[in-house]
Amino acid sequence: MPSSRTLDVPALESWLWEAACVIRGPIDAPKFKDYILPLIFLKRLSDVFEDELADLGDTARYVDQDHSLVRFHIPPAARWQAIAQETTGLGELLTDAVRALARENPKLQGVMDTVDFNATAAGQRILSDEQLRALVQLLSRHRLGLRDVEPDLLGRAYEYLIRKFAEGQGQSAGEFYTPREVAILMARILDPEPGNEIYDPACGSGGLLIKSHLRFREKHGTDPRVAPLQFFGQEINPATFAMARMNAFIHDMEAEIRLGDTMNRPGFLNHDGSLRRFDKVTANPMWNQNFALSTYEHDLYGRFAFGYPPASSADWGWVQHMYSSLKEGGKLAVVLDTGAVSRGSGNTGSNRERDVRRQFVERDQVEAVLLLPENLFYNTTAPGIIMVIHRAKPHKGQVLLINASRQFAKGRPKNYLTEEHIGAIADAYLGWREVDGLSRIIATEEAVRNDYNLSPSRYVALDGGEEVLPLEEALVELAEAEEECREADAELAAVLEKLGLQGYGNKG
């Protein structure tokens, strides 16, 4: 019999991780989240459905005819009580159950109907019926209904699982997971206000949107008189998209998450085909992506008016997409590679990243740049930066630089920010304060004199040690230099051809 005891967060986390460990042995870490997360989600939906039926009283008999009486209609074969009673054929049963659930609830299509619990590899079942049975039995220990666990508590435990999966997945974890404390810091910086529409164009498993939701709840509670937030996200990976949708549902958020390639096919458009705009935009896109030049040249939405980024790094392509998705007066916070705010500065001639950065600085749109510590992120040991761009800067002509590279605690497998670190960094930004050894406010003219270099380490000195260029950043700079060299060679060849001097430039 399931326990009726209300679970706190540590008990929830311990129980769900124990369930995950039931299947952790037979399959690789990158895969076992694909089975455990949907099952926890299914149990939550089923238990909530039972609670809603109880609350409906006599009206409950009409639920099968009128699905609008409940949040999600759970067909009989997909109800947890029925699943828990089965002893054989669990793989086929669970697969049929989640597909039936998605058929009856269009909102769950692409979320619940993608996992195959009967899947095989090299002719063998990935999870046997016996292993699935053990998992179902363990998950049956506790209810996850409306009166058993609050959405925020269950959501926190769900996020805990996603973090644990990221730790096991290593390099590829960066594709779906932003470290919790970085996401909390981003939410503090965005400081969402009642009625805001918040958008993440590379939302992964939805962590940045969820932390904005939780930050808003901290400030405003659940007062029905306060206009709620609305959330929007796009994700290119179908499995990660499903995680984001489940994560938002678990947190009881109204979020519209779409599957697709944001840079080539943005998913949120107005009726006239223009980009939809939002009050706040947040993202941690994959750093230094390589998009074809055609992505920028053939853009239909006017996103890249400040210039095309180099093939070696799409960072400023993402920034321009986010900027184009901002309402007048809106604010964005984005996590990027540290080199995005310094590459090209001090070079003679043109540099695409520096030239785009110059446009943002000269138009007084960059509000702040925060340098993070090393070894926070799962796909790199390099530090990142958070850049804040504001269409209505309250401090005109100024940029706040925060060097938080020493604000961390050592951890395994990664370093992390404590509550005190998050508070110190957020307070410096929100209070617009200079703090010795942490932050400095510069005039935009100083950034111009430094050739649009916005690296906080250039402006905020720390005692001891010289700044060393990370290897990954050096490789990107080398690729940019090679690209610029090829472009210059092509331009020279074209000029020589016009002068009838073909091949002249190749002579030694």
Burial class for 87, CB neighbours closer than 10 Å (0-12, 13-18, 19+): exposed
- What does the alpha-carbon distance between residue 210 and residue 200 come to, in Å, rounded to a whole number? 11
CATH code for the domain defined by 9-149? 1.20.1260.30
pLDDT over threshold 60, residue 443: yes
| Pairwise pLDDT comparison (456 vs 489), residue with the higher score | 456
Rounded to 5 degrees, what angle do the CA atoms 410, 414, 417 make?
A: 60
The pLDDT, as a whole number, for residue 19 is 87
pLDDT over threshold 80, residue 410: yes
- The amino acid at 478: L
- The amino acid at 483: E
The pLDDT, as a whole number, for residue 465 is 45
Contacting residues for 134 by C-beta, under 8 A, at least 6 apart? 22
Mean pLDDT calculated for residue range 211-216: 96
Q: Which two tokens stand for residue 377?
A: 């992120």
How do the domains of the chain map onto residue ranges?
9-149, 168-459, 472-506
Q: Which two tokens stand for residue 75?
A: 């067909």
The pLDDT, as a whole number, for residue 167 is 80
- What does the alpha-carbon distance between residue 120 and residue 104 come to, in Å, rounded to a whole number? 27
User: For the stretch 60-76, what's the b/e string if a residue is b when 16 or more beta carbons lie within 10 angstroms of its beta carbon?
Assistant: eeebeeeeeebebbbee
The SS3 of residue 226 is coil
Same fold, 9-149 and 168-459: no
Q: Which helix (H) or strand (E) holds 190?
A: helix 180-190
Mean pLDDT, rounded, of the chain:
89
Whose CA is closest to 479, among 307, 285, 344? 344
Give the largest CA-CA distance in the chain: 93
Mean pLDDT calculated for residue range 290-312: 93
Share of the chain above pLDDT 70, in %: 88
Picking from 47-61, 153-167, 226-240, 383-397, which range would have the lowest pLDDT averaged per residue?
153-167
Share of the chain above pLDDT 90, in %: 70
- Looking up tokens 């519209």 gives 256
pLDDT over threshold 80, residue 466: no
CATH code for the domain defined by 168-459? 3.40.50.150
HSE, CB side, 13 Å, CA atoms: give it for residue 347. Answer: 17
pLDDT over threshold 60, residue 473: no
User: For the stretch 441-471, what's the b/e string if a residue is b when 16 or more beta carbons lie within 10 angstroms of its beta carbon?
Assistant: bbebeebeebebbbbbbbbbeeeeeeeeebe
Burial class for 485, CB neighbours closer than 10 Å (0-12, 13-18, 19+): exposed
pLDDT over threshold 90, residue 491: no
pLDDT over threshold 80, residue 32: no
Mean pLDDT calculated for residue range 47-76: 94
Q: Which two tokens stand for residue 454?
A: 């916005």
- What does the alpha-carbon distance between residue 261 and residue 286 come to, in Å, rounded to a whole number? 13
User: Bridge-partner residues for 142, per DSSP?
Assistant: 3
- What does the alpha-carbon distance between residue 43 and residue 461 come to, in Å, rounded to a whole number? 52
The pLDDT, as a whole number, for residue 471 is 55
pLDDT over threshold 60, residue 357: yes
The pLDDT, as a whole number, for residue 507 is 40
Picking from 4-13, 62-71, 109-118, 485-494, which range would have the lowest pLDDT averaged per residue?
485-494
CB atoms within 10 A of CB 53: 17
Whose CA is closest to 404, among 379, 435, 450, 366? 435
Whose CA is closest to 352, among 177, 486, 155, 198? 486
Mean pLDDT calculated for residue range 43-72: 95
Rounded to 5 degrees, what angle do the CA atoms 161, 165, 168 make?
A: 145
pLDDT band per the 50, 70, 90 thresholds, residue 122: confident
| Pairwise pLDDT comparison (356 vs 20), residue with the higher score | 356
The pLDDT, as a whole number, for residue 4 is 47
CB atoms within 10 A of CB 121: 9
Mean pLDDT calculated for residue range 436-458: 96
Could you give the angle at which helices 238-250 and 207-220 cross, rounded to 10 degrees? 10
